[in-house]
Amino acid sequence: MKNFDVVVVGSGPAGGMAALEAAKGGLSVAILEKESLPRYKTCGGGLVFRGREMLPFDFNHVIMSSYNDLYIYFDHMELPLVAKRDYPIVTMIMRDSFDELIVKEAGKFGAILLENHQLKGIEFQESIQLITSQGSISCKYLIAADGVMGPTAKLAGWKETRKTIPALEYEIEVDSESFERLSKEARFDIDAIPKGYGWCFPKKNHLSVGVGTFEKRKVNLREYYHEYVKKLGVKEVISEQAHGFQVPVSPRTDGFVRQNVFLTGDAAGFADPLTAEGITNALYSGSLAGKAIAQNFNSPTLAEQAYLEALEERLLPELKFTGYLAKLFYHQKTLRNFLMKQNGQRYCEKITDVYTGHLELSKEVKARILKNLGFGIFN
Ligand SMILES: Cc1cc2nc3c(=O)[nH]c(=O)nc-3n(C[C@H](O)[C@H](O)[C@H](O)COP(=O)(O)OP(=O)(O)OC[C@H]3O[C@@H](n4cnc5c(N)ncnc54)[C@H](O)[C@@H]3O)c2cc1C
């Protein structure tokens, strides 16, 4: 049976970065992936600046386009809010080539990719035994980076405590006039769907257009998507491919490490509750898990402690804060509209600074904001 120091399940941004950091730290690492690379991943492919800054290698050749301006349209406001920066607020990538690139970079440090290997079972013995579609593998540490639907956490004994929201994304080819106009901006349309938003992210020759909702009752996403395309003023849709998926917008409540299994990215529930943006936190949590294990390989207790402390430094408090903001933003429309009319541009600037990594709100500032919004005490 093959044996590795670390096995990473999943070759998305969390898995790629976890493998890269663990292999860079001198450990033997395998990435189990049920598909073969490059594989399509349902995603708008919008990478915010701080995610871009986390990549320790050049990725210019997989960039489709970059936008220094971000447009946010509200139904109740005549003009969009626009954030402008002198660096790319959002960079457009396609996940097949982006994810494959990270895995290749991890390979430079010795990480091995095992494609068409689907994880099917886990047994905890002296080491961790993994039953895969192509035989068994053992390891000392297991990193779950198998996304929102992956089985690792469940197989290792976690209950389902993440909240997920449905999102529908289309890769669409449109007439040249519509493409010319729409490819000038990366845009969000708040309320394009009840309790949610639509996005239009231009790629090299096509658009990624989608809708996602925080609505609890069943919503016909397809219908709202078609309405949204009309609203964007698209004259002709030449071709379109639909991809539906879930985004986990709240972290698990029963921990992120047990029995040497570390949860990262969507498997842990780390997508942002306000924007449903998950690539950055996947890259970040994957890299934190890989580093924590590499630096404390001989002591699982210290490795666990290092990972949990690193998550507590920024990621978990931020998700808690943006989770409260999401409640206001998507579920209290009247109050939100009032606040956005008064101070929309100021909020837009601050939020842009947070998501691009240029502003970290202190615990006190977050508490003050939430108190002013009527959320009471925040710890
Ligand atoms: C419609 C939509 C649009 C989105 N748009 C954006 C956006 O524009 N920007 C943004 O930042 N985020 C966006 N997100 C969120 C983002 O896609 C995820 O948060 C991100 O992909 C999480 O990365 P990950 O590495 O945790 O998991 P994933 O990227 O999901 O990777 C998981 C990997 O695990 C593999 N796997 C699963 N099960 C097994 C198994 N049993 N054995 C082996 N391998 C397995 C999968 O094949 C996959 O390769 C969007 C999500 C959706 C649904």
Q: Is residue 206 located within the same domain as residue 303?
A: no
Q: What is the 3-state secondary structure (H, E, C) of 52-92?
A: HHCCCCCCHHHEEEEECEEEEEECCCCCCEEEECCCCCEEE
Give the chain's end-to-end CA distance (angstroms, integer). Answer: 47
279 Cα nearest atom in ligand 1:
11
Q: Which residues contact 162 (CB under 8 A, 6 or more apart)?
A: 148, 248, 249, 250, 251, 252, 269
**What is residue 376's predicted lDDT score, i.e. its pLDDT?**
58
Residue 235 CA to residue 230 CA, distance in Å, equals 8
Q: Is residue 182 located within the same domain as residue 244?
A: yes
76 in any annotated domain: no
Q: Is residue 33 located within the same domain as residue 109?
A: yes
Q: Is residue 187 located within the same domain as residue 209?
A: yes
Residue whose CA is at the smallest distance from ligand 1 atom 35: 10
Report how many domains make up the chain: 3
Q: Is residue 175 located within the same domain as residue 269?
A: no
354 in any annotated domain: yes
Residue 44 CA to residue 51 CA, distance in Å, equals 14
Which tokens is 112 given? 């091995």
Residue 157 CA to residue 74 CA, distance in Å, equals 43
378 in any annotated domain: no
Placement of tokens 């960039």 in the chain: 63
* Cα Rg of the chain (Å, integer): 21
72 in any annotated domain: no
**What is residue 199's predicted lDDT score, i.e. its pLDDT?**
96
The answer to whether residue 318 scores a pLDDT higher than 60 is yes
Which tokens is 57 given? 């290698």
Q: Which residues pair with 291 in a beta bridge?
A: none
Query: 122-132: per-residue pLDDT in tens?
Result: 999 999 999 99
268 in any annotated domain: yes
The answer to whether residues 246 and 149 touch, using CB atoms and an 8 Å cutoff, is yes
Given 3-state DSSP classes, what are the helix, strand and coil percentages for the chain, each rounded to the nearest 5? 35, 30, 35
Ligand 1 center from residue 76 Cα (angstroms): 33
With CA atoms as reference, report the closest residue to 93 among 264, 280, 237, 244.
280
CATH label of the domain that carries residue 191? 3.30.9.10
Placement of tokens 């005549």 in the chain: 78
Percent pLDDT > 70 in the chain is 98
- Give backbone dihedrals phi and psi of 336, rounded to 5 degrees, phi first: -60, -45
Q: Is residue 158 located within the same domain as residue 139?
A: yes
Residue whose CA is at the smallest distance from ligand 1 atom 13: 277
Which tokens is 192 given? 């394009």
- How many Cα atoms within 13 Å fall on the side-chain side of residue 28? 8
Ligand 1 center from residue 373 Cα (angstroms): 32
**What is residue 76's predicted lDDT score, i.e. its pLDDT?**
79
Q: Output the ligand 1 site: residues, CB below 6 A.
A: 9-15, 32-35, 41-46, 118-119, 145-147, 150-151, 167, 169, 210, 245, 247, 265-267, 271, 276-280, 282
SS3 state of residue 96: helix
If you average pLDDT over residues 143-154, what whole number do you get? 98
Residue 183 CA to residue 200 CA, distance in Å, equals 9
Residue 50 CA to residue 355 CA, distance in Å, equals 7
List the domain range (segments joined by +) for residue 227.
164-248
CATH label of the domain that carries residue 289? 3.50.50.60
Length in residues, the chain: 379
Q: Which of 215, 248, 281 is the last residue of a domain?
A: 248
Q: Is residue 21 located within the same domain as residue 129?
A: yes
With CA atoms as reference, report the closest residue to 31 among 110, 127, 120.
110
102 in any annotated domain: yes
Q: Is residue 27 located within the same domain as residue 138?
A: yes
SS3 state of residue 56: coil
Q: Is residue 325 located within the same domain as residue 368?
A: yes
CA dihedral angle for residue 98, residue 207, residue 226, residue 185, rounded to 10 degrees: 110
Residue 379 CA to residue 377 CA, distance in Å, equals 7
**What is residue 367's predicted lDDT score, i.e. its pLDDT?**
82
Q: Which of 193, 221, 248 is the last residue of a domain?
A: 248
**Would you place residue 317 in the very low, low, confident or very high pLDDT band (cuts 50, 70, 90)?**
very high
358 in any annotated domain: yes
- Give backbone dihedrals phi and psi of 7, rounded to 5 degrees, phi first: -115, 135
If you average pLDDT over residues 10-18, what whole number do you get? 98
If you average pLDDT over residues 116-123, what whole number do you get? 98
Residue whose CA is at the smallest distance from ligand 1 atom 53: 245
State the chain's mean pLDDT as an integer. 94
Ligand 1 center from residue 52 Cα (angstroms): 17
SS3 state of residue 156: coil
Q: Is residue 357 located within the same domain as residue 230?
A: no
Alpha helices in 220-264 (DSSP H): 221-231
Q: Which residues pair with 30 in a beta bridge?
A: 7, 112
99 Cα nearest atom in ligand 1:
29
Higher pLDDT, 339 or 103: 103
Q: Is residue 135 located within the same domain as residue 108?
A: yes
Which tokens is 138 given? 């053992």
Q: Which of 282, 313, 344 is the last residue of a domain?
A: 313
Measure CA 355 to chain center. 12
Q: Which of 72-76, 106-110, 167-171, 257-261 has the lowest mean pLDDT?
A: 72-76
**Would you place residue 202 in the very low, low, confident or very high pLDDT band (cuts 50, 70, 90)?**
very high
If you average pLDDT over residues 231-245, what whole number do you get? 94
Q: Is residue 46 located within the same domain as residue 179?
A: no
The answer to whether residue 75 scores a pLDDT higher than 90 is no
**What is residue 106's predicted lDDT score, i.e. its pLDDT?**
98
45 Cα nearest atom in ligand 1:
8
Which of 8, 41, 134, 208 is the pocket-test mutation for ligand 1 (most atoms within 8 Å of CB)?
41
- Give backbone dihedrals phi and psi of 288, rounded to 5 degrees, phi first: -65, -40
Ligand 1 center from residue 334 Cα (angstroms): 33
Q: Which residues pair with 236 in a beta bridge?
A: none
300 in any annotated domain: yes
**Would you place residue 109 in the very low, low, confident or very high pLDDT band (cuts 50, 70, 90)?**
very high
Ligand 1 center from residue 266 Cα (angstroms): 7
Instruction: Quote the DSSP letter at residue 52.
Output: H
146 Cα nearest atom in ligand 1:
34
152 Cα nearest atom in ligand 1:
41
